[in-house]
Amino acid sequence: MTPVTRQEVLGLYRKILRIAKKWQSSSGQIEETIKEKEYIRNEAKTLFRKNKNVTDPKLIKQCVEECEARVEMGLHYNIPYPRPIHLPPMGLAHKQGRTLRHQEKLRKISKPIYLKSHDEVS
């Protein structure tokens, strides 16, 4: 990892921890705020530790973009959890002549950037 990339990643990690420290839940309830703060910290620790040995620059860039997207979406919607996607099980292609593998490929391609690592960790 280059020094610039390392500083960028560490800066993102610090930014997430600062957000968790200042986080207020949309309901305003203390218990919910504490639970959401803990979720933000745990999710950040889990994903950053999982990806700490990544050396491929393209994969690092993809992880950084996902992180930035999740931070921006969380701040915009005031929800720390990833927003779900709603796709009908077999709704992306015609059912005639299409295989299940092709359906799974289309679902994977259509998944937003902010959900790429969520399924791997959950």
Cβ burial of 40 (10 Å; 0-12, 13-18, 19+) is buried
Tokens 């993102």 sit on residue: 12
Q: How high is the mean pLDDT of the chain?
A: 81
Distant-in-sequence, close-in-space partners of 6: CB < 8 Å, separation ≥ 6: none
Residue with the bigger pLDDT between 84 and 47: it is 47
Closest CA to 1 of 65, 49, 61, 76: 61
Number of H helices, E strands in the chain: 5, 0
- The structure's pTM equals 0.72
Element (H, E) at 15: helix 3-22
pLDDT tens-digit series, residues 51-107: 999 999 998 998 999 899 889 989 998 988 877 666 555 555 555 555 667 666 766
Closest CA to 110 of 89, 77, 85: 85
